[in-house]
Structures are given as C-alpha cells and as structure tokens.
Amino acid sequence: MELFDKVKALTEIQATSGFEGPVRDYLKARMVELGYQPEFDGLGGIFVTKASKVENAPRIMIAAHMDEVGFMVSSIKADGTFRVVPLGGWNPLVVSGQRFTLFTRTGKKIPVVTGGLPPHLLRGTGVTPQIPAISDIIFDGAFENAAEAAEFGIAQGDLIIPETETILSANGKNIISKAWDNRYGCLMILELLEFLADKELPVTLIIGANVQEEVGLRGAKVSTTKFNPDLFFAVDCSPASDTFGDDNGRLGEGTTLRFFDPGHIMLPGMKNFLLDTADHAKVKTQVYMAKGGTDAGAAHLANGGVPSTTIGVVARYIHSHQTIFNLDDFLQAQTFLRAIITSLNTEKVAEIKNY
Ligand SMILES: [Zn+2]
C-alpha cells in the first residue's frame, strides 16, 4: 500500500475518547497480519510485546494514541436537534458549519451537521456574532422532532465525530485530512512493527496505542502501569504555528525535538541521546517549544519515574475537520524512530536514564 493510502485509511476512521474501537480493530488486524499477538490494558489500550532474548533486557515502550477529538450528546431538544459536551479540546470557531457522524449505542451511523447562523437572520438585528459556547452550538441530524430522533435510536451519551475525506494537496507534498492527531502515531507504530518484523534486538519493545489522550493523558497512566517500561516514547502530532506568523513548529521542517512542554521537561540523558541519534541518522529536526502535552507527560510520572519523550510532527489546524501536514515530515520522524530503537541496548538505556 502507498503511504497516502495508509494515511487515508487511518485518518478517515472515526474514533474519539472512550470510543476507540474502530481504530483498535484496525490496529489489531494489522498487528495480527504482521504476526504479533496484541494485549490490552483495562481501558482498551492495545500493545504488542517484542521480547528480547537478552537477559534482563531494558523495556522500551512506544505509544501512539487512538482517540481524536469529538463530542458526546448531552441533550436532545424538542425540535430534534442535539447539544453536546466536548471530548478533548475544541476551538468553538471551527465547530460550526461542519459535517459529523453520530454513533448510536447499537452502532448505527447518523449524519449530523452543525448549524451556523445565516447572515440573513443577523441583518437589521443590530446583533454582532459572538464566539459561541460549545454547549450552545446546534447539532442537527435533520429529524422532525425529539420523538423521531429517538425512533432512530439516538440518546444522550451517543458519540459525534468529524467526517472528512482525506485528500492530497495540489503539489503532492502535503495531505489534508482530519485526525492526523494522532493517526500519525498509529501509522508510525504499525510501520515500526513492520520494520522490526525480522529483527532481533537487545531491548524488549512494547509497541502500541493508548486510549483517552485527548481528555487528559488518561490511557498512558494505565498502560505504563501495566507494561512497566524503563523508557517511554510517545509518537504524537502537535500544532504548527507557521501560518500564524510564528516559527515554532513549521510544516516541512522535520520531526520535533520537544525540550519543553507544560507537563514535561526533557532530561539531559534523553536530550543527548536524541541529538546524537538525529545527527548520526541525518534526520531533519526542529526544536519545538510545546504549548500542550502528550502521553509522555503522564508516562514520565508513572512507576516512580520513567524517562520519556515524544517523537513528533506538526500539522496545521489540528483539532478541526481540516488539518494539513507534510509527507516528508512523516518520513523524517519514521527514520528517527527506527534509528532510536535500533541503537538502544542495556548500556545506552543506562546512559539515557542518567539525569
Ligand atoms: Zn490532540
């Protein structure tokens, strides 16, 4: 399969926090195809262990997250429209005028749009449009009334997830889709598993994907407890700022080195290891001073402390229906992760753990 087709397959899957099943099923099928036996944590995180033959081999965890930002139906109005609570961080300005899929409890898929107020209805009212609260935005499945919505099986607690077709940009270098945060990571771990299929390594690898990252790094807490790694590498996608007049996180400038995010500081041992490995493997990197966190923030505080980092890329307009990202950035991150994993051994891990 071509890289674009793999990206398209993963980014068009709809799965939000606490409802990761569709991505988990996809990952599981690919893992089994590649000859791995997936295991699950109690909240639905999926991981395979590639055990080393070396005695007391260090345990290295590499984790994506499966969830994308979405919504949950909080109420059904008499007119048959819905109101929601957000699952993950949403800018209210990108929610209106979009298409979504509502998933009922029994798995039925219902098309839904968010209603935006037409200019006609503002004319002459003297009202200036305000930034709406998420709780006020109208989600509309075009039902006659609440009773008809109920007949279609719709109820409070149903999930609503963006619907977007993934396409290639005109210059062929970039992709436009939803959910590159974090199907990027899901593709990275599948590609890594394929790359490692016939390799014997001096470290034991735990490779997979967490649940519920978008609602507060919850899945990473339980998976790191279960799998007890010595080092943790998140693979995740962060916002690019380049079109907003900021050089921090530019498309096409390579994989990110996150020395700092609000919930994680890279330790000196890890920093030296990453800089040396990137240099050696000739990987294009950019320093990224993050304003948000990743699962590395939760993992490094687990089990008495686990040195962690994120092997990342940036994408424009994340947490919306239309995200733009660069194919070469993905390839740089992939080269970097392969170089990292294949250069680890007991001595190297001890060096990295040296704070
Ligand atoms: Zn996110």
Last residue of a domain, one of 162, 197, 216: 162
- The reply to whether 89 and 103 lie within a common domain is yes
Structure tokens at 234: 């998140």
- The reply to whether 268 and 344 lie within a common domain is yes
Q: Each residue of 302-329: b (16+ CB within 10 Å) or e?
A: beeebbbbbbbbbbbbbbbbebbbbbeb
- Cα–Cα distance measured from residue 5 to residue 19, given in angstroms and rounded to the nearest whole number: 24
Average pLDDT of 189-212?
97
94 Cα: distance to centroid of ligand 1 (angstroms): 15
Residue 171 in any domain: the answer is no
pTM comes to 0.96
Per-residue model confidence (pLDDT) at position 355: 86
- The reply to whether 80 and 212 lie within a common domain is no
Per-residue model confidence (pLDDT) at position 74: 98
- The reply to whether 83 and 116 lie within a common domain is yes
Residue 292 in any domain: the answer is yes
Per-residue model confidence (pLDDT) at position 59: 98
Chain-wide mean pLDDT for the chain? 96
- Cα–Cα distance measured from residue 350 to residue 337, given in angstroms and rounded to the nearest whole number: 19
Residue 190 in any domain: the answer is yes
Last residue of a domain, one of 162, 193, 218: 162
What is the CA 168 to chain-centroid distance, rounded?
20
- The reply to whether 336 and 265 lie within a common domain is yes
Q: What is the pLDDT of residues 202-224, one digit of tens each?
A: 999 999 999 999 999 999 999 99
Structure tokens at 47: 């991981």
Per-residue model confidence (pLDDT) at position 125: 86
67 Cα: distance to centroid of ligand 1 (angstroms): 8
Residue 284 in any domain: the answer is yes
Residue 12 in any domain: the answer is yes
- Cα–Cα distance measured from residue 191 to residue 67, given in angstroms and rounded to the nearest whole number: 19
- The reply to whether 43 and 79 lie within a common domain is no
Using the predicted structure, report yes or no on whether residue 95 has a pLDDT greater than 80: yes
- Cα–Cα distance measured from residue 99 to residue 113, given in angstroms and rounded to the nearest whole number: 4
215 Cα: distance to centroid of ligand 1 (angstroms): 9
Per-residue model confidence (pLDDT) at position 70: 98
Residue 115 in any domain: the answer is yes
Catalytic option among 20, 68, 191, 213: 213
For residue 266, give the amino acid letter.
M
Per-residue model confidence (pLDDT) at position 130: 84
- Cα–Cα distance measured from residue 293 to residue 62, given in angstroms and rounded to the nearest whole number: 16
- Cα–Cα distance measured from residue 299 to residue 231, given in angstroms and rounded to the nearest whole number: 9
Count the helix, strand and coil residues of the chain and give each as a percent rounded to the nearest 5.
Answer: 30, 30, 40
- 236 a known binding residue? yes
12 noted as active-site residue: no
Spatial neighbors of 262 by CB under 8 A, at least 6 apart, are 290, 291, 292, 293
Q: CATH number of the domain at 86, please.
A: 2.40.30.40
Using the predicted structure, report yes or no on whether residue 1 has a pLDDT greater than 80: no
- 2 a known binding residue? no
pLDDT band at 128 (very low <50, low <70, confident <90, very high): confident
Structure tokens at 296: 């590395």
DSSP per residue over 164-206, as a string? ---EE-TTSSEEEES-HHHHHHHHHHHHHHHHHTT---SSEEE
Q: What is the pLDDT of residues 31-45, one digit of tens each?
A: 999 999 999 999 999
Q: CATH number of the domain at 246, please.
A: 3.40.630.10
Q: What is the pLDDT of residues 49-80, one digit of tens each?
A: 999 999 999 999 999 999 999 999 999 999 99
- The reply to whether 299 and 226 lie within a common domain is yes
Residue 173 in any domain: the answer is no
117 Cα: distance to centroid of ligand 1 (angstroms): 28
Using the predicted structure, report yes or no on whether residue 121 has a pLDDT greater than 90: no
- 300 a known binding residue? no
Last residue of a domain, one of 129, 162, 195: 162
State how many domains the chain has: 2
Spatial neighbors of 250 by CB under 8 A, at least 6 apart, are 240, 241, 242, 286, 314
- The reply to whether 292 and 193 lie within a common domain is yes
For residue 169, give the amino acid letter.
S
Q: What is the pLDDT of residues 298-332, one digit of tens each?
A: 999 999 999 999 999 999 999 999 999 999 999 99
Question: 87: which DSSP letter?
Answer: E
320 Cα: distance to centroid of ligand 1 (angstroms): 10
- The reply to whether 204 and 300 lie within a common domain is yes
- The reply to whether 109 and 190 lie within a common domain is no
Structure tokens at 227: 């799998």
- The reply to whether 184 and 328 lie within a common domain is yes
pLDDT band at 127 (very low <50, low <70, confident <90, very high): confident
- Cα–Cα distance measured from residue 351 to residue 109, given in angstroms and rounded to the nearest whole number: 51
- Domain range spanning residue 329? 3-68+178-352
219 Cα: distance to centroid of ligand 1 (angstroms): 13
Residue 198 in any domain: the answer is yes
Q: What is the pLDDT of residues 267-280, one digit of tens each?
A: 999 999 999 999 99
- The reply to whether 231 and 274 lie within a common domain is yes
